[in-house]
Chains A and B, each alone.
Chain A
Amino acid sequence: MSIQFRSFAAATLVAGSLYGLPALAETTLNVVMQAPLRTLDPILSTAQIVRTHGFMVFDTLLGMDAKYNPQPQMADYTVSADKMTYTFTLRDGLKWHDGTPVKAEDCVASIKRWAANDGAGRTMMAHVAALEATSDKQLVIRLSKPFGQVLELLAKPSPVPPFMMPKRLAETPSGQQVTEMVGSGPFRFVADQYRPGDQAVYVRNKDYVPRSEPMSWTAGGKLVNVDKVVWKSMPDMQTSINALQSGDVDLIEQVTIDLLPLLKANDEIKTGAINALGSQVTGRFNHRQPPFDNPKVRQAAMYALDQDQLMQTAIGDGEFYKLCASLYGCDVPLASDAGSEYLAGSAKTRMAKARELLKASGYDGKPVLMMQPTDLTVLSTQPIVAAERLREAGFKVEVASMDWATLQSRKNGWQPVAQGGWNFFFTYWGVSGIWNPVVHAMLDGSGSDTAWSGWPRNARVEELRTAYIAATTLDEQKTIAREIQQIAFDEGFYFNAGEFQSVAAWRTSLKGLQPGPLTLFWGVAK
């Protein structure tokens, strides 16, 4: 991977010389995205593709740089000495795509709509006494209780970033999609060329005034060097690769790792990670249904499962996955090795421990219903591997295959398995969606009906999450995050099945691809 990263850095340097150059002829970037774009409202959707779309069309008050620091984007900010008042001043020249100027009241409405739909946003609003526009250019957030995450949340790139949109759109009722794509971002959405699930077209927003700072993730100047970006969806990786090789497309956002050798032979094509953050695969237990309502059975299962086997089968090449205990991502500031005793040891010794624990747990042979998605390649192998390991440990396992849509809705119910419930399934999260205990939905220990599927209940974790929110120094945050992680392992909140890196492939004619927390289309030139 390091080699690819280096070639990346080199590419970024080359792009540096292109900054500010006007495009000579009309350039179109043809891209195969990892998933088809079917909905447009980035506030209502948690899907990565919709978020990437959001960063094309919309802008955020703050951006996040490669060092995980919030930086000014649409607005500069000041924080009062007591850290209770945040003042944001919009920079000059901001315009919506319909030509009207961006006003502070638009941003107030946008933050409200975002907060109503985002878990972390809701938590923030519970600490806010006032959120108001004090002039056309200025808005103020006044806290009622200390809350250390305001800037991080306004800058966060995932799962639902606080995108800014005109007030009339931001006032769309919660639960109803915004379908008119008017933002202030560096690209305009071409509505009449949009074919849901097949094609989305963006053109350069000529009115966009980029910041003067260098690009870094979603912070800094978003310099657009192409006239048009066309997202195509291709259901078949083979087809996508053929298209890349023939030059029909310039970039594939996510390549199946096993097919990389094909591309490496072609010197017109480069591969590497443009999404700087990996994704973690998580195996979730249903804490409300037997046998996984019993913590000892969950622990036995955790010993039976093996990160390396799961990752090796799903990804293949060991260069592209990492094994770590950290539930927040392997390389983030909060990463720690708390709970790593559950992952240590060879697959064989762990299996022995699993059998022993299972025997002692009082497991009555009740079959585990494991859901397996048939139509999502990234997640279709883990249930098969896991089922075999669990059976070896003494579990009875039934693998229920279904399409991803069925799985997603079935996971929301906590009824007994016989009535359409479930015991275990795998999903994955971009690291930016789990990198601290506030945004990490699977660490919710409330056990309430409104929590994300799985419903673990642990009062101590809830206390710690509240403490994390109030914590203002990184050291304090690290200590709390570490303790939460240890409890999550001890209590078997879920099984951390390892972190994989998505790998993109592009034609060498592309220069200046930007690394980021998701695929970014500024900086790149053709």
Chain B
Amino acid sequence: MASYFLRRVLMAVPVMAFIALFIFLLLRLTPGDPAQAIAGDHATPQQLAAIRESLGLDQPLASQFLAWVGDMILGDFGKSLISQRPVLEMIGQRIGPTLALASVAMMLTVLISLPLGVLAAWRHGGLIDRFVMSLSVLGFSVPIFVIGYVLISIFAVNLKWFPVQGYKPLAEGLGAFLHRIVLPGFALASIYIALVSRMTRASMLEVLGEDYVRTARAKGLSDRIVLFRHALRNAAIPILTVVGTGFAMMISGVVVTETVFNIPGIGRLVVEAVLARDYPLIQAIILLTAGAYVLINLLIDLSYALTDPRIRYK
């Protein structure tokens, strides 16, 4: 077990190294000039050259890359070229709203799609099943920003149940926090709800067909006990997988949702950083999200290994 664990962790190292190199090259071969973003449209060439020099952008690419990786290993992700603030501090300021948004979306997903998926599988082929399946296909087919705008125009503008925009941290009270995060959370969750309810339904159907479930049913256990104690527990692993692989998808949803609902999170930060060519900031955000992805999937793999010894020897 320990050697499996070690092997998996070591495998993440070349993955991260590849990501770092890939992102660095991609950005540096992109046209655009951070000095311009600092000095504005009407700046003169001398001004731009002076700024470039003070930022070290006139150094050869290879030495810029080595310096970046070296500092990073020591825990220093560098300073934003534009605002001159430490990159980690800027990310720290913005990560809260994004985490809140993502967790609310996750919670909504679990609260809505698990029961839906279970119900659909239980009444396989019935009305609820068809409704859930149509809903999930629809969830995949409508862009998040359209869902966002529909939600805003119905629930915020017309019904006035929710504020149209903005974010309040949890520290300012649970009520204020929830009041503002429900709509964006729901918009972001829409695609996830589609995905997870489908996945739940499918895994449940598979498990419900297994012998031990049929035995349990034959023994006369109530549907509820069979569904939740036996079936759902065994269907958990594939659902967990979806959560892991869906992480990257969630990031793209976050970028759009934060724009529609004006939430000052990582998603907007990264779009702004790309548009301003703020290299250290873009690099750090992509590397950190990629790292989070690798970590989440590592944990999921390890949790499989813990529950299912066969996997370790694959």
Contact = CB atoms under 8 A, between A and B. Distances in A.
A236 B275 contact: no
Contacts, number: 134
B51 A46 contact: no
B198 interface: no
Contacts of A437: none
Contact of A235 (B52, B152, B262): B262
B31 A195 contact: no
Nearest to A433: B42
Interface string B37-66: 111111111111111111000000000000
Contacts of B90: 195-196
Contacts of A117: 47
Interface stretch (A67-75, A90-98, A338-346, A407-415): A407-415
Contacts of B152: 242
Interface string A216-241: 00000000000000000011100100
Nearest to B261: A239
B165 A239 contact: yes
A236 B276 contact: no
B128 to A, nearest CB: 36
Contacts of A235: 259, 262, 268
Interface in A147-205: 159, 173-177, 179, 195-199
Contacts of B41: 46-47, 408, 427
A229 B44 CA distance: 32
Interface string A23-57: 00000000000001011100011110010000000
Interface stretch (B76-84, B222-230, B243-251, B298-306): B76-84
Contacts of A176: 51, 54
A239 B83 contact: no
B44 A450 contact: yes
Contacts of A179: 83-85
Given A44-B51, A235-B259, A409-B33, A242 B43 contact: no
A173 B47 CA distance: 12
A239 B50 CA distance: 38
Nearest to B46: A450
A86 interface: no
Interface in A397-427: 403-406, 408-410, 412, 420, 427
B42 A246 contact: no
Interface string B69-111: 0000000000010111100001001100000000000000000
Interface stretch (B112-120, B135-143, B156-164): B156-164
A36 B272 contact: yes
A183 to B, nearest CB: 17
Interface of A is mostly: loop
A429 interface: yes
Contacts of A475: none
B166 interface: yes
Contacts of A234: 165, 262
Given A177-B38, A242-B152, A412-B36, A195 B165 contact: no
B165 A199 contact: no
A117 B53 CA distance: 15
A248 B48 CA distance: 38
B260 interface: yes
A355 to B, nearest CB: 33
B51 A405 contact: no
A39 B82 contact: yes
A372 B32 CA distance: 15
A243 interface: yes
Interface residues of B, number: 48
A242 B156 contact: yes
A196 B156 CA distance: 28
A196 B83 contact: yes
B269 interface: yes
Contacts of B80: 196
Interface residues of A, number: 49
Given A38-B272, A236-B262, A404-B275, A409 B32 contact: yes
A405 B42 contact: no
Contact of B50 (A174, A248, A441): A174
A119 interface: yes
Interface in B259-292: 259-262, 264, 268-269, 272, 275-277
Contact of B42 (A36, A159, A449): A159
Nearest to A159: B42
A448 to B, nearest CB: 9
A44 B49 CA distance: 12
A375 interface: yes
A258 B31 CA distance: 33
B255 to A, nearest CB: 11
Contacts of A77: none
Contacts of B53: 175
A410 B32 CA distance: 7
Interface string A110-129: 00000001010000000000
Interface string B125-153: 00000000000000000000000000010
A363 interface: no
A246 B33 contact: no
Contacts of A195: 90, 93-94, 264
Interface string A441-481: 10000000111100000000000000000000000000000
Given A177-B38, A199-B264, A235-B268, A242 B44 contact: no
A176 B79 CA distance: 13
A92 to B, nearest CB: 35
Nearest to A409: B33
Contacts of B46: 450
Given A39-B38, A406-B31, 11 more contacts: A47-B41, A176-B54, A177-B38, A195-B90, A195-B264, A239-B164, A246-B164, A405-B33, A405-B36, A409-B31, A412-B45
Interface of A: 36, 38-40, 44-47, 50, 117, 119, 159, 173-177, 179, 195-199, 234-236, 239, 242-243, 246, 248, 375, 403-406, 408-410, 412, 420, 427, 429, 433, 441, 449-452
Q: Which 9 A-B pairs have the closest CB atoms?
A: A175-B50, A242-B164, A46-B40, A47-B40, A409-B33, A196-B83, A46-B42, A198-B264, A175-B54
Interface of B: 31-33, 36-54, 80, 82-85, 90, 93-94, 152, 156-157, 163-166, 259-262, 264, 268-269, 272, 275-277
13 contacts: A38-B83, A45-B43, A50-B40, A175-B47, A195-B94, A198-B269, A242-B157, A242-B164, A248-B163, A404-B275, A412-B36, A412-B48, A450-B46
